[in-house]
């Protein structure tokens, strides 16, 4: 799954959790890949599909993007893990981190729903089929 497909996949996961969304431009996105909307909340999401640990830069980008897009919250999502430094910085800046364990938990909670409603969600079906259902580059 390439980077943009991962962004679309994450957006669709949040869509299943009740958020509407818009994807930012591939370039010049000011640190955010997705803007989520639910009720009166606006959440900025930075996606990092890395094989190794995600560092401070991703947290800094999400934090900057939060203010650029005037979001209420910032989130960094990865199918990998975060460095201790990134976790410390995220805690200080109040940026939410979603690593492989949290992502697995979210997907597990949605698993029964997706199995029963798979073809109702055309975009997530397309993403999973085209990516051979491989969201992680690490084994």
Hey, what domains does the chain have and what are their CATH numbers? Answer: 3-130 (3.40.1350.10)
Task: Give the CA distances from residue 5 to residues 9, 33, 89, 104, 111, in Å, rounded to whole numbers and listed in that order.
Answer: 6, 11, 27, 17, 19
Angle at the Cα of 62 from the Cα atoms of 56 and 67, rounded to 5 degrees: 130
What does the alpha-carbon distance between residue 108 and residue 76 come to, in Å, rounded to a whole number?
Answer: 19
Give me the pLDDT at residue 125, please. 60
Give me the pLDDT at residue 42, please. 98
Which helix (H) or strand (E) segment holds residue 95: the answer is: strand 95-98
Q: What is the pTM of this model?
A: 0.81
Q: Write down the residue that tokens 């997907």 correspond to.
A: 107
Say what percent of the chain tops pLDDT 90.
56
Above 80 in pLDDT, residue 128? no
């Amino acid at each position: 799954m390439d980077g943009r497909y991962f962004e679309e996949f994450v957006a669709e996961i949040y869509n299943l959790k009740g958020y509407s969304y818009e994807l930012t431009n591939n370039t010049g996105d000011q640190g955010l890949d997705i803007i989520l909307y639910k009720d009166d909340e606006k959440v900025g999401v930075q996606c990092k599909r890395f094989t190794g640990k995600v560092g401070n830069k991703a947290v800094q980008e999400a934090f900057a993007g939060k203010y650029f897009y005037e979001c209420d919250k910032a989130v960094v999502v990865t199918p990998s893990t975060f460095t201790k430094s990134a976790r410390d910085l995220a805690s200080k800046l109040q940026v939410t981190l979603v690593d492989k364990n949290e992502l697995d938990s979210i997907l597990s909670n949605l698993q029964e729903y997706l199995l029963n409603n798979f073809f109702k969600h055309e975009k997530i079906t397309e993403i999973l089929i085209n990516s051979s259902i491989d969201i992680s580059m690490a084994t």
